[in-house]
Structure 1
Amino acid sequence: MLFNKHPSPKRTRRGVDHKPSPRPIGPRPNGPDTPLMEPAALTRALRHAAWRDPRAERKKFTEVYAAVRTLERTAAYVDQALERLAEVAEALRIGQSTAHDLMRGLQAARIEELLDSLDRLSKMAAEGGLNLLNSESDSLYLDFGHEAFRYVLPPFDLRRGPKGLNIPQMKDGFENSSEIQSISQSVALAQVRVAQFAARLSHDAGMLVRMAKTYEADISVEDAESPNLERGD
């Protein structure tokens, strides 16, 4: 679930200013199939969680849009990775369908170069901010309001190694059919996983834009009300 709301704590003697500590909401066991909060429910949650202090809302507005820029920057590298994987799949098809040794050798070298470029894309994603394409990096998270809402996006490892997409190296060119089959299956699975992460980035960026607009609207309301309050005093 992208956004979640912890039940409001029962009234205690801790005072009206007491705020429960936000708790991270990580991926559920069923992974990407977890249903997301309905738009209407999300809107109600955002309004309920919004801070009425204009300065705090401006700060959160800035943080949310910074997160959107991070998602968009990451999505650009993910799109490149999908292109590389599609080229790998095509090179595998060509290499297996031709009997010409030179052509097979060229395709094998091209496959290794394309797969190695995934590691370079993972490193390049660190430029300009948080790297969400390396499992050793931090997660992206945002806290919202006094009701302990938290958005969390763990990093996705784009590297070809065992910790990432787990695509084996081509050691024997196209001479080892079982090796080629293993690589082909790994590439197909990697395409699915990367495409799922790309969809998550797109969805989350859209939701965070809605979140920023909510804060922006609250800021405008507060700014419009402030002069009236001052005149009333």
Structure 2
Amino acid sequence: MLFNKPPSPTRPRRGAGHEPRPRPAGPRPNGPDTPLMEPAALDRALRHAAWRDPRVERKKFTEVYSAVRTLERTAAYVDQALERLAEVAEALRIGQTTEHDLMRGLQAARIEEVLDSLDRLSKIAADGKLNLLHGESESLYLDFGHEAFRYVLPPFDLRRGPKGLDIPHLKDGFENSSDVQAVSQAVRLAHVRVSQFAARLSHDAGMLVRMAKTYEADISVETEEGASHTPVD
């Protein structure tokens, strides 16, 4: 009878303060509806990571480290895209302020050359791996912890066309002022969008580095504990 006695209803089984918290309503942190991982979401992910298995820790450390490298590689190409958009903005300024037809023609050609190079950047960003600058590629995602917490980064389309940055061509050079204004406005908007994506890459890389350090620390502790239990001959 003593072993079959049910627990007292007034006495918590796991102690006060250990009851699981209810999951908040709404989309999961850092899901498709949330562009950045907030500090509270990161804390939850780290708590989930505390449910540990050494083999899982090593696997997750490798996955997170690989994701950080992907973000860093992507950020390098994004920086190049920002530089080229800045070149286009300067060429537009020069072309609209100069009176020399030859100079205006050279600036128009330069604008088209630089904008077309964005398509090449979006292709070579893959480097044989996941390409986050081609809108038709797969998203980068990682699952953390036993509650299937997922980090997702959808691809950004760096191409010049309508599916990407949507920057029109200067069909008549600087002869058509409405075309020039359309290109100028599209370049300004593209610079804002690419800058926002660059900021997210920086934010998420920092967050994943923190996550990788958590896994790495757990692996180190597990390795030290295993060594301390190794019998000495």
TM-score range, shorter-chain basis?
Answer: 0.7 to 0.9
- Give the match's secondary structure for 2:167: coil
Runs of 5+ unmatched residues, structure 1 = 9-22
Secondary structure at the aligned position of 2:143 is classed as: strand
% identity of equivalent residues: 79
1:98 paired with 2:98, answer yes
CA offsets 1:16-54 (integer angstroms, 9 cap, x no match) = xxxxxxx895332xx65x6x4226x62453133344211
1:81 and 1:118 in contact (8 A); partners too: yes
Amino acid at match of 2:210: R
Q: For residues 75 and 68 of structure 1, what CA distance do their matches in structure 2 show?
A: 10
After TM superposition, the score normalised by the length of structure 1 is 0.83
Q: Tell me if 1:7 matches 2:23.
A: yes
- Deviations for 1:108-127, whole angstroms, at most 9, x for unmatched residues? 00000000000000001011
* Count of residue correspondences: 208
1:167 aligned residue: 167
Q: Give the stretch that moved more between structures: 174-183 or 52-61.
A: 52-61
Where does residue 70 of structure 2 map in the other structure?
70
Question: In the alignment, which residue of structure 2 is the partner of 1:115?
Answer: 115
Q: After the TM superposition, which residues 73-222 of structure 1 pair with which residues of structure 2 at under 5 Å, given as runs?
A: 73-222=73-222
Task: Provide the aligned C-alpha RMSD in A.
Answer: 2.3
C-alpha contact (below 8 Å) 2:48/2:144 kept by paired residues: no
Instruction: Please tell me the residue identity of whatever aligns with 2:125.
Output: A
**Separation in structure 2 between the aligned mates of residue 213 and residue 150 of structure 1, nearest angstrom:** 18
Closer/same/farther in 2, CA of residues 6 and 124 from structure 1, 3 Å limit: farther
**Distance change in 2, residues 1:196/1:142 (3 Å):** same
Cα distance in 2 for partners of 1:224, 1:210 equals: 21
- Equivalent residue number for residue 18 of structure 1: none
Closer, same or farther: CA 25–103 of 1 in aligned 2, 3 Å? same
Query: Is the alpha carbon distance of 1:163 and 1:56 closer, same or farther for their aligned partners in structure 2, counting shifts above 3 Å?
Result: same
Deviations 1:77-102 (A, max 9, x none): 00000000000000000000011000
Contact 2:58–2:219, Cα closer than 8 Å, also in 1:
yes
CA offset at residue 220 of structure 1?
1.6
Q: Find the structure with the greater CA-based Rg.
A: 2
- Give the gaps of 5 or more residues in structure 2: 1-20
Using CA pairs below 8 Å that are at least 6 residues apart, which structure has the higher relative contact order?
A: 1
- Change in 2 beyond 3 A, CA 1:129/1:24: farther
- How far apart are 1:153 and its partner, in Å? 0.1
23, 31, 51: which one pairs with 1:26? 31
* Structure 1 residue runs of 4 or more that deviate by more than 6 Å after TM superposition: none
Amino acid of the structure 2 residue aligned with 1:65: Y
Report the TM-score when normalising by structure 2. Answer: 0.83
Distance 1:120 1:86, change over 3 A: same
